Amino acid sequence: MSIGTKVTDEGKRLIIKLDEKFDFGKVQDFRLAYLDLSEDINHIEVDLSDTEYMDSSALGMLLNMQKSLNERQFSYSITHCRPQVARILKISRFDKKFEIS
């Protein structure tokens, strides 16, 4: 599995689940995961429970997602972070743009 998507909460939440590496090789797949969203979706969750490695391009992909979807009012979260990934997100101050757990 590279990137999986699932819609939950009665069609209101999109979950994007990544595998062990979140890096430049995922650019196209990550972008495709949030294109053509239903009007019902109001929250996007990025599930990093399997992610052991992420690089600066992954941070850029997260920011680009927010930027490309800015015409709609979404809330965003990054969930199930392993300690090493949570540390990268915190150092990069992503806790100011995303709810992180």
**What does the domain layout of the chain look like in residue ranges?**
3-100
42-77 per-position pLDDT tens digit: 999 999 999 999 999 999 999 999 999 999 999 999
Residue 86 has pLDDT above 80, yes or no: yes
Residue 2 has pLDDT above 90, yes or no: no
E strand spans, 9-94: 13-18, 21-22, 43-47, 53-54, 75-79
Superfamily of the domain at 3-100: STAS domain (3.30.750.24)
Determine the Cα angle at 90 with ends 100 and 84, to 5°.
Answer: 90
pTM of the prediction? 0.94
- What pLDDT does residue 1 have? 56
Q: Scan for tokens 């941070």, then name that residue.
A: 59
